[in-house]
Amino acid sequence: MVVNLSMVVYYRVLSGRLGSAYAQLWALMGVLSVLGNVTLGLNTYLVKAFSADLELLGPGAVKGRLLRLLKPGLIGLGTLAAILALLSPWLESYLKLPGLGLVLIMDALFAAGVLLLGLRSAQQGLHHFGWLGLSQAGEGLAVVGAVCGPVRSVAGGLTARLLGQAFGGLCTLGGLVGLGPARSPAPLPGDERPLRQALFEGGSDTLALTLLALLCYLDVFVLKHYYSDERAGLYSRAALVAKSFLFLPAALNMVLLAAAAREMAGGRDPRRLLKVFLLGALALDAVGLAVVWVGTSFCMGLLAGSDPRFRTDAVLALTRWFSLAVIPLSLLQMVVVYLLAVRRRGVALGLGLLALAYLLLLRLVWASELAVVASLGACSLAGLAGALWAALARPPTRLGPVLARAGA
């Protein structure tokens, strides 16, 4: 809750201060969200591994796996940072940014996020959700404190996020104290080559989650390229309200991922967890949609500011339909995380085809904001139907006995 409220304050303050430059911030945050899924893909693999370590060998095995992956992790992070630096000039040109400095700050945010979420994956695997929540709350409060200061630029807004990550990292380290002596981690399927397995499975998870993030932000990137800053800024304000529906599954997924992975490690069927989480998320989304539909003007003022340009009939109608279109996308996020937790194959391929179809639709309908929103809703519903079939049609492979034999 604190995390979500901190982001509400963050975007609300900067929406009122940045004017048309807000479109630049929203586009950069979209890029950062996509890049963050490189972290989340590896995080997904690590949570599954840490959950198995805890289930079979105890917290010392979690510490052992952390130490084992430290060196290759830092090498991989350095490689990714170098690749991003090479791509920065192209990104600056495509998004029509005023300078390369904004992209470089975003690159630094990504690198810090890799380190932070890597440590948080250990907390998820250990089921230290109290410490995990404290870390995220500390990050959110630090961001709010920084952005409520004399921040008047896009660069200042990005720097506030960087300060928040630093504070959240300190809280995360506090939750990893006292794990005891390091032990050899629990062997996973294919773990005779642990680095190769981590890169393969983590890379597959990364690709799937990156494609999922592209579904969430392709509209932002394409419209920022084609629209003026003024028009893109109005669309970004509507997107700010609508895509707040993505915050709820993002929070629930941290628990679902670890819980489903632990059920798998113990040889239990995790599909009941998915059903419970989906029903809860759908109920909360329905309540949120009713609030947005009835009080669109209030929600826009709360999240984007009091500028009368944000409260025209056209913008308010766009916000309502946008919010409706995002709900199946938010549920799709949850099902995809579950599929990755139970190691279902073909997730990245399905999302890749879905993202390609969405991109083709955007190239056809970009001139109309409502048509863009309709294409998002159609693609999200199609993807959700396919993902639910893959998740519920048959039980996942029972990994518990496999792990038990491997550790014997």
How far apart are alpha carbons 126 and 49 in whole angstroms? 10
101: Cβ contacts below 8 Å, ≥ 6 apart:
155
Q: Which two tokens stand for residue 132?
A: 């995990």
Residue 114: Cβ-neighbour burial (10 angstroms; 0-12, 13-18, 19+): buried
Contacts of 189 (CB under 8 A, 6+ apart): 197, 399, 402, 403, 406
d(C-alpha 199, C-alpha 206), whole Å: 10
Q: With contact defined as beta carbons under 8 Å apart, do 147 and 14 qualify?
A: yes
pLDDT of residue 311: 78
| Token digits of residue 39 | 């972290």
Residue of 287, 289, 283, 298 lying closest to 320 (CA atoms): 289
Q: Given this model, what pLDDT does residue 404 score?
A: 37
Taking the C-alpha atoms of residue 47 and residue 53, their distance in angstroms, rounded to an integer, is 10
The rounded distance, in Å, linking the Cα atoms of 270 and 260 is 5
| Structure-derived torsion over alpha carbons of residues 46, 48, 52, 54, reported in degrees to the nearest 10 | 60
Question: How many CB atoms sit inside 10 A of residue 345's CB?
Answer: 9
CA–CA separation, 360 vs 366, rounded Å? 10
Percent composition of the chain: helix, strand, coil (DSSP 3-state, to 5):
85, 0, 15
Say whether 95 sits in a helix, a strand or coil.
Answer: coil
**In whole angstroms, what is the distance from residue 244 CA to residue 280 CA?**
17
Q: Tokens in use for 336?
A: 């995809």
Given this model, what pLDDT does residue 195 score? 46
pLDDT tens, per residue, the chain with 408 residues: 566 677 778 877 787 777 778 888 878 888 887 777 666 666 767 777 777 777 777 777 777 777 777 777 788 778 878 888 888 888 888 888 887 888 888 888 888 888 888 788 887 777 777 777 888 888 888 888 888 888 888 888 888 888 888 888 888 777 676 666 666 665 655 444 444 555 555 567 778 878 888 888 888 888 888 888 888 888 888 888 888 888 777 777 767 777 777 777 677 777 888 888 888 889 988 999 999 999 888 888 877 777 777 778 888 899 999 999 999 999 998 898 888 877 777 888 899 999 999 999 998 998 889 999 999 999 999 999 999 998 888 777 654 443 333 333
**What is the DSSP secondary-structure string of 327-375?**
HHHHHHHHHHHHHHHTT-TTHHHHHHHHHHHHHHHHHHHTT-HHHHHHH
C-beta separation of 304 from 244 below 8 A: no
**Dihedral of CA 237/102/13/166: which sign?**
positive
CB 185 within 8 A of CB 65: yes
CA-to-CA dists, residue 182 to 44, 62, 117, 163, angstroms: 22, 8, 21, 31
- Six token digits for residue 138: 């500390």
CA atoms within 13 A on the CB side of 344: 27
pLDDT at 348: 85
Cα–Cα distance, 366 to 213 (Å, whole number): 19
